[in-house]
């Protein structure tokens, strides 16, 4: 052996000692151990664990680094543990002779063998008396007394927390404190390695090492503890905690939810080396987009998801009340976890909603719960009560409602109706009394917009000049608007800011504080009221049954002031027409004066403005305007041609409204007592058919987001109109009615002799400009979202 390279005297001496020690152990005299008088001998009892090597016996034990390294020698690892126990002193002497093994390691090894022997014998079926006798024979009386405890006795625990209370006592004080802080045990929150390291003045890596050491010690000790059973017992409570009692967790929520898992359970998973997601999949049912567990039934959720799958073919968002007949918890689980949809304010949405989507849902809740159209200036204060942190302006509301045509339809300018069912009902204590005083003014919210500069300029002009006709503002746009602004900005600015500007009369705009009081109308009526065209329009409106509140100056006081002026200055036919339809009995005048006017009405009052529809008025309307007319007819019980013009954004006396009135008459949605061609200018009573048409078109708009004459309900209505036109007598004229659906009436045409009113051209340009602005606003919103 001395010829072997790098094998010197020292190595030879070490090998000699090892051979001698091994030989001594192997040939140890067993007869020194007294045989038992009333049972098997210690050697026979140790045969129960004869198959165990030293490495197998000490597996999982927490050893010092020095001893652990010393026992890695192959010859020691394969040595039988029973051999070591029978000749422990000789084995320890041989072990002491090995490099890097000192007295402390030898003492540790002796204690380990004495502790493992009774435990292993007990595990392999030895009786307690046999174990005690064997330990007495092997280790002496002092160690035999402890053998009946089957060394390493571990207490029994009822909860996972109690188990850790004991396990942590097996750690050093500092190690225990670090584990408690890392996992948030007790009353503390989980802390990072950096946080703990800064308190101890050491690096995060040092804290990680200490944590690793403590966890290793706990893993060794827990081998005697049914930790897995305790974790399984704590799982239901842990699931309810991270699912917040709902019974489901989405993929997006999983990481955040698992971070909130109780520290005791997190520590348990760490010790059994199970990742939180693996544990989650073990205690809950994995679904398409998350996990489902108690109290939600996974099978029922899957069934609900199959039924709800049709929602994916419909425009979203959509009220949850339209979704299914299942109970809400299972519907919510099916939507979120099986279909990957979201819920917000009682609506099904495609993805997690942003602020504008939440705004749209809040507005729809208000409109759908009202079951009637609401003007924006009344809608915004209610919305601010529902969502006080959202500084939503009228323009903001219009943008989001235009983006969801399956949820909203604009019946009149700046008046909206909610389509479909409501989500979560809005809870408003007093919608009429609430005013948001801290809302940022429209000008301040969008100061960078050109529209804001125009609005400020128009405010200044109206303050300086008083209320003005729209035509006058257009003609003087260069003097009114800032340099570089087009006159086409006037109309959209006035129309899109109802909280700033008010239409006092048809074609006349002013500011809210410029509305005359009733007394002012009676004593000194404003000059813009005393106009022959206003006299004619009011007479037509009273005959049509148009609401007085459409314009502030169409009040009883305004009617009297206009009649008094018209007696001497108005066109006779206009004055007589107004006398024929005026509500003189309600005028705020003295009895004697009222008697005088009533007598005058009996003598002179006759309506002379009745007119048949012009030939160019038969223009096929957009189908959504027909729906708007049905909404107004169903809500008010009547419909008139002036209201139809307001819905289309036309001047109030345009004959184009005749086409909508004719179609609804042909479909049986309206009823008129007279077939006279001029009767179209009278109010028409809504029938049950109007409600049917309303329901049909609402259903299609809600299901598709569009209404068109070219498909679905539009095609069916065309067939119904053609069939009705063939049997019609009088007005509407059958030929003209049918032409609207044969390609000849789909666009307005003007005859060569027809005079184009300047206001018509202005309003048409205003509508086009407003539509362009709406499209730009919507595009900007979509890009921002």
Q: Which pLDDT belongs to residue 632?
A: 96
Q: Which pLDDT belongs to residue 307?
A: 87
Distance CA 656, CA 45 (A): 112
pLDDT tens digits, 79-128:
898 888 888 888 888 888 888 888 888 888 888 888 888 888 888 888 88
Q: What is the mean pLDDT of residues 573-594?
A: 96
Q: With pLDDT > 70 as the criterion, what percentage of the chain qualifies?
A: 83
Reply yes or no on whether the pLDDT at 432 is more than 50. Answer: no
Q: How far is CA 546 from CA 415, 467, 534, in A?
A: 16, 23, 14
Q: Which pLDDT belongs to residue 560?
A: 97
Q: Which pLDDT belongs to residue 448?
A: 43
Which residues lie across from 375 on neighbouring strands? 415
Question: Crossing angle, helix 394-402 and helix 355-370, to 10 degrees?
Answer: 90
Sequence-ordered list of residues with C-beta below 8 angstroms from that of 376, at least 6 positions apart, any chain: 394, 397, 398, 414, 415, 416, 498, 499
Residue with tokens 């404003």: 526
pLDDT tens digits, 738-785:
888 875 444 444 443 334 455 455 555 555 555 655 555 544 544 444
Residue with tokens 């500084």: 391
Distance CA 618, CA 656 (A): 7
Q: What is the mean pLDDT of residues 458-475?
A: 92
Q: Which pLDDT belongs to residue 440?
A: 40
pLDDT tens digits, 767-776:
555 565 555 5
Residue with tokens 């404190």: 177
Q: Which pLDDT belongs to residue 145?
A: 46
Cβ atoms of 241 and 276 closer than 8 Å: no
DSSP structure class, residue 740 = T
Q: Which class for 251: exposed (0-12), middle (13-18), buried (19 or more C-beta within 10 A)?
A: middle
Q: What is the mean pLDDT of residues 356-369?
A: 94
Instruction: Set out the domains of the chain in order of their start, with CATH numbers.
Output: 9-149 (no CATH), 155-296 (1.10.10.10), 355-440 (no CATH), 445-449+456-604 (no CATH), 615-754 (no CATH)
Q: Which pLDDT belongs to residue 627?
A: 96
Listing DSSP states for 751-776 in one string gives -TTPPPPHHHHHHHHHHHHHHHHHHH
Query: What's the mean per-residue pLDDT of the chain?
Result: 83
In the three-class reduction of DSSP (H, G, I as helix; E, B as strand; rest coil), residue 685 is classed as strand
Q: What is the mean pLDDT of residues 687-693?
A: 96
pLDDT tens digits, 476-510:
888 888 888 888 888 888 887 888 999 999 999 99
In the three-class reduction of DSSP (H, G, I as helix; E, B as strand; rest coil), residue 290 is classed as strand
pTM above 0.85, yes or no: no
Distance CA 272, CA 169 (A): 18
Distance CA 373, CA 628 (A): 10
Reply yes or no on whether the pLDDT at 24 is more than 80. Answer: no
- Under the banding of pLDDT at 50, 70 and 90, the label for residue 383 is very high
Reply yes or no on whether the pLDDT at 30 is more than 50. Answer: no
Chain mean position to CA 185: 34
DSSP structure class, residue 746 = S
Nearest residue to 413 via CA among 646, 227, 72: 646
Cβ atoms of 339 and 308 closer than 8 Å: yes
- Length of the chain counted residue by residue: 785
Q: Which pLDDT belongs to residue 437?
A: 40
Question: What string of H, E and C letters represents the secondary structure of 4-39?
Answer: CCCCCHHHHHHHHHHHHHHHHHHCCCHHHCCCCCCC
Q: Which pLDDT belongs to residue 489?
A: 83
Q: Which of these ranges, 38-47, 109-118, 540-549, 662-671, has the smallest mean pLDDT? A: 38-47
Q: Which of these ranges, 122-126, 447-451, 669-673, has the smallest mean pLDDT? A: 447-451
Reply yes or no on whether the pLDDT at 163 is more than 60. Answer: yes
Hey, which bits of 309-394 come out as E strands?
A: 318-319, 342-344, 347-349, 374-375
Q: Which class for 778: exposed (0-12), middle (13-18), buried (19 or more C-beta within 10 A)?
A: middle
Reply yes or no on whether the pLDDT at 429 is more than 80. Answer: no
At 505, give phi and psi (nearest 5°): -150, 170
Sequence-ordered list of residues with C-beta below 8 angstroms from that of 208, at least 6 positions apart, any chain: 193
Reply yes or no on whether the pLDDT at 261 is more than 50. Answer: yes
Q: Which class for 563: exposed (0-12), middle (13-18), buried (19 or more C-beta within 10 A)?
A: buried
Residue 361 CB neighbours (<10 A): 23
pLDDT tens digits, 301-321:
999 999 888 888 889 999 988
Distance CA 449, CA 519 (A): 39
Cβ atoms of 458 and 473 closer than 8 Å: yes
Distance CA 365, CA 359 (A): 10
């Amino acid at each position: 052996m001395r010829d072997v390279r790098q094998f010197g005297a020292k190595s030879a001496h070490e090998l000699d000692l090892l051979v001698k020690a091994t030989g001594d152990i192997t040939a140890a005299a067993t007869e020194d151990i007294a045989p038992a008088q009333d049972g098997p001998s210690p050697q026979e009892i140790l045969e129960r664990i004869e198959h165990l090597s030293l490495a197998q016996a000490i597996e999982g034990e927490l050893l010092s680094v020095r001893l652990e390294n010393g026992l890695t020698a192959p010859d020691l690892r394969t040595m039988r543990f029973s051999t070591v126990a029978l000749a422990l002193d000789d084995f320890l002497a041989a072990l002491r002779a090995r490099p890097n093994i000192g007295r402390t390691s030898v003492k540790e090894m002796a204690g380990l063998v004495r502790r493992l022997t009774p435990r292993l014998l007990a595990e392999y079926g030895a009786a307690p008396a046999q174990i005690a006798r064997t330990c007495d024979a092997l280790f002496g009386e002092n160690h035999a007394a402890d053998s009946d405890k089957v060394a390493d006795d571990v207490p029994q625990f009822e909860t996972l927390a109690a188990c850790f209370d004991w396990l942590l006592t097996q750690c050093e004080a500092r190690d225990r404190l670090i584990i408690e802080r890392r996992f948030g045990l007790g009353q503390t929150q989980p802390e990072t390695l950096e946080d703990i390291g800064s308190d101890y003045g050491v690096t995060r890596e040092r804290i990680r090492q200490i944590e690793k050491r403590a966890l290793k010690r706990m893993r060794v000790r827990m081998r005697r503890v049914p930790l897995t059973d305790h974790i399984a017992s704590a799982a239901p409570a842990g699931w309810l905690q991270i699912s917040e009692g709902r019974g489901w967790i989405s993929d997006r929520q999983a990481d955040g939810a698992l971070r909130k898992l109780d520290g005791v359970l997190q520590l348990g998973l760490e010790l059994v080396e199970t990742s939180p997601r693996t544990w989650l999949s073990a205690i809950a049912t994995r679904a398409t987009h998350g996990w489902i567990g108690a109290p939600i039934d996974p099978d029922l959720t899957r069934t609900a998801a199959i039924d709800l799958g049709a929602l994916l073919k419909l425009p979203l968002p959509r009220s949850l009340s339209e979704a299914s007949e299942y109970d809400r918890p299972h519907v919510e689980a099916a939507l979120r976890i099986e279909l990957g949809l979201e819920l917000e304010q009682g609506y099904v949405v495609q993805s997690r909603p942003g602020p504008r989507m939440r705004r749209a849902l809040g507005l729809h809740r208000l409109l759908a719960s009202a079951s009637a159209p609401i003007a924006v200036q009344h809608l915004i204060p209610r919305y601010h009560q529902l969502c006080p942190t959202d500084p939503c302006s009228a323009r903001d509301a219009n943008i989001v409602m235009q983006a969801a045509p399956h949820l909203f339809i604009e019946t009149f300018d700046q008046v909206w109706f909610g389509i479909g069912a409501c989500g979560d009902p809005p809870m408003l204590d007093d919608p009429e009394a609430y005013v948001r005083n801290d809302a940022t003014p429209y000008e301040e919210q969008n100061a960078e917009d050109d529209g804001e500069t125009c609005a400020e300029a128009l405010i200044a002009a109206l303050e300086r000049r008083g209320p003005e006709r729209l035509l006058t503002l257009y003609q003087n746009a260069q003097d009114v608007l800032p340099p570089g602004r087009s006159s086409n900005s006037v109309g959209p600015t006035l129309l899109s800011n109802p909280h700033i500007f008010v239409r006092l009369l048809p074609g006349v705009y002013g500011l809210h504080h410029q509305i005359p009081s009733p007394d002012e109308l009676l004593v000194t009526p404003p000059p813009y009221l005393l106009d022959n065209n206003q006299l004619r329009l009011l007479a037509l409106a009273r005959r049509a049954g148009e609401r007085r509140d459409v314009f502030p100056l169409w009040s009883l006081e305004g009617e009297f002031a206009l009649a008094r002026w018209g007696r001497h200055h108005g066109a006779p036919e206009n004055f007589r027409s107004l006398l024929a339809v005026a509500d003189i009995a309600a005028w705020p005048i003295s009895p004697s004066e009222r008697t005088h006017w009533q007598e005058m009405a009996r003598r002179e009052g006759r309506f002379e403005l009745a007119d048949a529809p012009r030939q160019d008025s038969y223009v096929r309307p957009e189908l959504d305007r027909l729906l708007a007319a049905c909404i107004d007819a169903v809500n008010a019980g009547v419909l008139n041609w002036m209201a139809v013009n307001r819905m289309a954004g036309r001047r109030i006396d345009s004959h184009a409204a005749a086409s909508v009135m004719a179609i609804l008459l042909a479909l049986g949605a309206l009823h008129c007592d007279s077939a006279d061609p001029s009767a179209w200018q009278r109010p028409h009573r809504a029938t049950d058919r109007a409600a049917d048409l309303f329901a049909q078109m609402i259903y299609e708009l809600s299901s598709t987001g569009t209404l068109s004459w070219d498909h679905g309900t539009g095609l069916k209505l065309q067939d119904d109109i053609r069939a009705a036109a063939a049997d019609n007598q009088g007005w509407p004229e059958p030929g003209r009615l049918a032409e609207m659906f044969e390609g000849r009436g789909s666009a307005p045409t003007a005859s060569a002799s027809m005079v184009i009113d300047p206001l018509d051209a202005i309003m048409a340009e205003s509508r086009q400009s407003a539509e362009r602005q709406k499209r730009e606003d919507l595009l900007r919103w979509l890009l921002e979202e």
